[in-house]
Amino acid sequence: MADPSPARLAAVDLLDMVLVQHRPLSETDRLDRLAAPDRAAAQRLATEVLRGLERADRVLKPHLRKAPAGRVMNILRLGATELCTGGAAHGVVSDCVEIAARGKRTQGAKGLANAVLRKVAESGPADWAKLRVPRLPKWLRAPLAEAWGPQAVAAMERAHFDGAPVDLTLKGDLPEGLPGELLPTGSVRLRDAGQVSALPGFSDGAWWVQDAAAALPVKLLGEVAGLDVLDMCAAPGGKTLQLAARGARVTALDISEARLARVRENLDRCGLEAELVAGDALEHRGQYDAILLDAPCSATGTIRRHPDLPHVHMGEKISELIGLQGWMLDHALSLLKPGGRLVYATCSLLPDEGECQIEEALERHPGLRVVPAEADWIEPAWRSEEGGLRLRPDFWAERGGLDGFYMACVAKG
């Protein structure tokens, strides 16, 4: 039999990593061995399977007496997703059978893959369209329903299933020939971005990829030109670039040297400057006019772009992150000059990593106050009780959604 497509083979490996080993896709170097088009295709396939996982499992169920073990099931899930979303039956089925045939532990399931996927090719596409929007797993669905209500959760699930457009942050003016919609917040939104590095302005560093919601925390910090600003958890550097482009003297700190290398690449491409420091935020010393604390978090606000996240075991890790966020906030406040401003942000949908952090910091630090966000692009629904902004993936549905984010600006004294 012919070799299976490298992209499909890699997509099954990626699914094993997420669904069997419960590790995030960001940890893989599996794609490094592929040519660029295969890399993009493998990533797209794995992402599509993860987005529609519940549908794939429901379409497969009537054809299986019991769900087979890990990798075989992932081969079937890939095949079912492709078949139900317009994939050409012959190529999909033969590749999936061949992928099964190549593994010692999966070769016995070659016949099963062939029989099941042929049946799915017949009835699957019609069944798929009738199935409900895939739900989040219980560990995440329950706290989100408690915080935002069941209807909001259903709308978020719809947004997760629909995926996300590509948003760009401009360094200055809109480059000629750059397609896309200019959003009220200033980001440019592309519906069909294609190869991003081929777009006008990429090589001149006229913009960088950054979700429209992720571009807002720096805006909340206000005027920063000429100020000493600490970007406390900086990598890969979207917000560092924004601060530098606005004329701040930026210290970009991150614990990960490897991730800081990406900040350097991004600064160089965009012709911007910042001092990069590798280190633990909790041990950093200095005094700053303004601080951006984009704290490590569950990243549950980015599920539209990272549908692997709900499948990675997170429960205990989130409580550790919540503790770390509180310590980071306290330490950041000790580095803030009197009268200085601090923006705390997380790309999480959980109030424990957002609203509650600010409420608790206000209790711990007498004299600390929230600086209300003032801008014409702020929608009333975004404002939260304690004075911050809450962005959710179901907001701006008609425009293509937003990543989930929380942000608040605070000042001492």
Determine if residue 154 is labeled as part of a ligand binding site: no
For position 254 contacting ligand SAM by CB under 6 A, the verdict is: yes
- Is residue 147 packed enough to be buried (19+ CB in 10 Å), middle (13-18) or exposed (0-12)? middle
Tell me the site size for ligand SAM, rule CB under 6 A.
17
For position 306 contacting ligand SAM by CB under 6 A, the verdict is: no
Report whether 39 contacts 31 (CB < 8 A): yes
Report whether 407 contacts 344 (CB < 8 A): yes
Question: Which of 144, 75, 145 is CA-nearest to residue 114?
Answer: 75
Backbone φ and ψ for 394, nearest 5 degrees, come out as -85, -5
For position 256 contacting ligand SAM by CB under 6 A, the verdict is: yes
Considering 84, 96, 270, 347, which one is annotated as catalytic?
347
According to CB under 6 A, which one of 55, 110, 160, 239 is a site residue for ligand SAM?
A: 239
For position 314 contacting ligand SAM by CB under 6 A, the verdict is: no
For position 233 contacting ligand SAM by CB under 6 A, the verdict is: yes
Determine if residue 317 is labeled as part of a ligand binding site: no
Q: What is the DSSP string of 2-16?
A: PPPPHHHHHHHHHHH
Return the beta strands (E) in 171-309 as ranges: 181-182, 188-190, 207-209, 228-231, 249-254, 275-278, 288-294
Determine if residue 254 is labeled as part of a ligand binding site: yes
For position 322 contacting ligand SAM by CB under 6 A, the verdict is: no
According to CB under 6 A, which one of 23, 63, 118, 259 is a site residue for ligand SAM?
A: 259
For position 237 contacting ligand SAM by CB under 6 A, the verdict is: yes
Backbone φ and ψ for 316, nearest 5 degrees, come out as -65, -35
For position 41 contacting ligand SAM by CB under 6 A, the verdict is: no
Task: Specify whether 270 is catalytic.
Answer: no
According to CB under 6 A, which one of 4, 165, 296, 301 is a site residue for ligand SAM?
A: 296
Q: State both tokens at 191.
A: 């519906």
Q: State both tokens at 126.
A: 């019609």
For position 238 contacting ligand SAM by CB under 6 A, the verdict is: yes
The residues that touch ligand SAM, with contacts defined as CB under 6 A, are 233-239, 253-256, 259, 280-282, 294, 296
Give the annotated binding-site residues for S-adenosyl-L-methionine.
233-239, 254, 294
